[in-house]
Copies of this chain bind each other. A is one copy, B any other.
Amino acid sequence: MTEGNKQILLAARPAGFPTESDFRLVESPRPSPAAGEVLVRIIYLSVDPYMRGRMSDAPSYARPVQIGEVMTGGCVGEIVESQNPRFAPGDIVEGPLGWQQYAVSSGLGLRKIEPKLAPISTALGVLGMPGLTAYFGMIDVCRVKAGETVVVSGAAGAVGSLAGQIAKLHGCRVVGTAGSDDKVGWITGELGFDAAFNYKTESNYRARLKELCPSGIDEYFDNVGGPMTDAVISLINVHARIAICGQISQYNLEKPEMGPRWLGQMIVKRARVEGFLILDYAERFGEGLERMARWLKEGKLRYREQFAEGIENAPRAFLGMLRGENTGKQLVRIAPEP
């Protein structure tokens, strides 16, 4: 076949905040599956904060994308050819297929999606990695507990919006921070957060948090880091649990930011700070997805998805997500649903 496959490659390692010139659009020949493989037509591509890390060659938990390689990313797509008995043409699958229109896969890491249960795009959001991250971060790392006060930073993002709702479902007072008045309106309205504020127009995070958390802070689900996290830590209660999910305020700095030291506060409050990665929970994904799907079916979880159109717009969607332009989950529609 001579049909093409548009792909986005990593063109350069960003210095500071990435730009569109760090990516390159190319058109390659469409690949063919060998024995045991499948060809997937990608329908949705997820853009996520962790991808910023993969663009750098600093040591991390995953191998960086090499210059000239297809950018890594989670996708939902349709099997169009199969040489693998586990998959048939027409199957909808989710997996790490990259920023491209078509991908060949051995099937490893591909998960079959049942389109009747929920929109297939949710396999990249509420019923995918962001949902699982919110679930295990809140249940296992924060050890969510009824009656406690929970703060979520980046609360209008794909993960934060779900983390806060999970805390609400457990009977907590939930306070969120977000980057626009619209986002604040969404999370305190439709999502049912008890309170929230726009960090871009608030000059004193600590005073505002103190007002909104009159009983102090027991759990903190952090997606952001920086001065917001400093303010939260200054207000924690005894035996507080802090889950470090992301530090998006720090990912695009050219040198490490300085901040006030706060480990003394950890002693006084006998508090715990724990970083986590959803990959470590792989053996329990079934449990997490089952719970999230049940809450979704019962109408107890709300989510929002935002779509950019076309593989060409993936870099722009990614950069917009890093700037916080999205509300809820940012996706790129690569091809129409079947």
Contact = CB atoms under 8 A, between A and B. Distances in A.
Contacts of A275: 263, 265-272
A225 B266 contact: no
Interface string A235-273: 000100000111100110000111111111111111111
A186 interface: no
B276 A264 contact: no
A267 B245 contact: yes
Nearest to A253: B261
Contacts of A247: 261, 263-264, 267
A266 B244 contact: yes
Nearest to A141: B272
| Copies of the chain in the assembly | 2
Contact of A258 (B59, B258, B271): B258
A186 to B, nearest CB: 26
Nearest to A247: B264
Contacts of A245: 267
13 contacts: A222-B263, A244-B263, A247-B267, A250-B263, A251-B264, A257-B261, A259-B259, A259-B260, A259-B261, A266-B275, A268-B275, A270-B276, A272-B273
Q: Considering the complex of A and B, which 8 residue pairs feature the smallest CB-CB distances, nearest first?
A: A266-B275, A267-B275, A256-B260, A258-B258, A272-B274, A273-B273, A247-B264, A259-B261
Given A250-B263, A272-B272, 6 more contacts: A61-B268, A61-B270, A256-B262, A266-B274, A270-B275, A270-B276
